């Protein structure tokens, strides 16, 4: 569609829930990609705390995780001089637009979402927030008229829904929203759990050997990877590798950037113990600069709060423009 007059530069928007320890899935599926593309866009990266509370969070822990997540964004290479790094709840437009979009979204669309069905199945009583989660996500994206949303594969269905909601709004009220494209990374789009390679690595899985956290010390990283589930074969056979071995190879490739041929030539026939040692080394080495930068950032008093405050101002300026347009289109009162 034609880009509205108030959005002359393409924008990118993405977010992470501050709902636990960020892991190498979040890094390879999202953060690493964000850092790579940020300068090609006007960039907005959001700590989506309103999404996190769709399941209960201890308030003190949530507050601490919001700051930690912001620190990890910057440590992972997001440049706050260029990109806005802000907290979702500090921009009221997310909630305002979410309600307006809720009113054009059929409930059947939401009930079909795989993530909703998976999470609802694990709970006795399902909160409305869990069902509405993808509408809030659509609002996060459409609020900034984002042209691109770089995410891991698990979010692709929510992105499709975002486009459906935008299209429905545009057809009811006239061209308003830019259609956002889904930006999946070439490798690392779906990192699987180390303990169970049939399930995606996830913050909400609490098993000690499930995920490598981005702030895990090298010794912990090595221990977790050495215990990763593989299969009963003794050595790597790339053509017939099981999900655990494929996951380890994928993690190595995403951290080192090696091509398929180099991976095969190096790992074919290697015993699993040696494969794990090499993967652990690649991950520990790959995370070392992030961890060093994180320690620097968090030891500087006021640094993070300053960035979050300044970025929220930038985000609010864009968000308020969109909310105003949407209100006008829908016939709501928008003070002159």
Residues annotated as part of the active site = 119, 200, 203
* Residues 20 to 49 in contact with ligand AQP, rule: CB under 6 A: 20, 25-26, 28-30
Other CB atoms within 10 Å distance of the CB of residue 257 = 9
DSSP line for 85-124: EEEGGG-THHHHHHHHHHTTS-HHHHHT-HHHHHHHHT-S
Stretch that binds ligand AQP, among 77-85, 133-141, 201-209, 216-224 (CB under 6 A): 201-209
Q: Cβ 280 to ligand AQP, closest distance in Å?
A: 18
Query: Does residue 201 interact with ligand AQP by CB under 6 A?
Result: yes
Closer of 104 and 130 to ligand AQP (Cβ): 130
281 contacts: CB under 8 Å, gap ≥ 6: none
- Residues 44, 116: Cα–Cα separation, whole Å: 26
Out of 7, 12, 13, 16, name the contact with ligand AQP by CB under 6 A.
Answer: 16
- Residues 29, 80: Cα–Cα separation, whole Å: 20
- Residues 278, 223: Cα–Cα separation, whole Å: 13
Q: Cβ 331 to ligand AQP, closest distance in Å?
A: 35
Closer of 70 and 323 to ligand AQP (Cβ): 70
CB 89 within 8 A of CB 36: no
Question: Residue 16 in 3-state DSSP?
Answer: strand
Query: Does residue 12 interact with ligand AQP by CB under 6 A?
Result: no
Out of 94, 190, 224, 252, name the contact with ligand AQP by CB under 6 A.
Answer: 190
Query: Does residue 115 interact with ligand AQP by CB under 6 A?
Result: yes
Rama region for 110: left / alpha / beta (φ>0; ψ in -120 to 50; rest): alpha
Query: Does residue 134 interact with ligand AQP by CB under 6 A?
Result: no
Query: Does residue 202 interact with ligand AQP by CB under 6 A?
Result: yes
Query: Does residue 191 interact with ligand AQP by CB under 6 A?
Result: yes
Structure tokens at 270: 């290697």
Q: What is the CA radius of gyration of the chain?
A: 21
Closer of 11 and 203 to ligand AQP (Cβ): 203
Query: Does residue 204 interact with ligand AQP by CB under 6 A?
Result: yes
Given the rule CB under 6 A, which residues bind ligand AQP? 16-17, 19-20, 25-26, 28-30, 115, 151-152, 154-155, 189-191, 200-204
């Amino acid at each position: 569609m034609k880009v509205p007059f108030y959005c002359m530069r393409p924008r990118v928007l993405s977010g992470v829930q501050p709902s636990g320890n960020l892991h190498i899935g979040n890094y390879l599926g999202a953060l690493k990609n964000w850092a790579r593309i940020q300068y090609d866009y006007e960039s907005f990266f959001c700590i989506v705390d309103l999404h996190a509370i769709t399941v209960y969070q201890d308030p003190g822990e949530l507050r601490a995780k919001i700051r930690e997540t912001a620190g990890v964004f910057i440590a992972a290479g997001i440049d706050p001089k260029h990109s806005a790094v802000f907290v979702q709840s500090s921009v009221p437009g997310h909630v305002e637009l979410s309600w307006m979009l809720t009113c054009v979204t059929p409930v059947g669309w939401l009930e079909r979402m795989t993530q909703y069905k998976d999470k609802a199945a694990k709970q006795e009583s399902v909160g409305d927030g869990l069902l509405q989660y993808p509408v809030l996500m659509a609002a996060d994206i459409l609020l900034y008229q984002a042209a691109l949303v770089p995410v891991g594969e698990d979010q692709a269905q929510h992105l499709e829904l975002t486009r459906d909601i935008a299209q429905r709004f545009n057809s009811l009220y006239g061209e308003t929203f830019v259609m956002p494209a889904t930006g999946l990374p070439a490798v690392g789009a779906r990192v699987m759990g180390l303990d169970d390679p049939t399930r995606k690595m996830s913050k909400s899985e609490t098993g000690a050997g499930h995920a490598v956290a981005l702030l895990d010390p090298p010794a912990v990283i090595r221990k977790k990877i050495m215990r990763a589930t593989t299969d009963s074969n003794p050595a790597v056979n790339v053509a017939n590798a099981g999900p655990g071995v494929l996951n380890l190879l994928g993690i190595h490739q995403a951290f080192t950037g090696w091509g398929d041929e180099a991976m095969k030539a190096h790992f074919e026939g290697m015993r699993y113990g040696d494969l794990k040692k090499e993967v652990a080394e690649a991950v520990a080495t790959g995370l070392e600069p992030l961890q060093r930068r994180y320690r620097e950032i968090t030891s500087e008093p006021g640094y993070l709060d300053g960035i979050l405050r300044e970025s929220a101002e930038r985000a609010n300026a864009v968000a308020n423009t969109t909310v105003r347009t949407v209100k006008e289109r829908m016939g709501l009162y928008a003070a002159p």
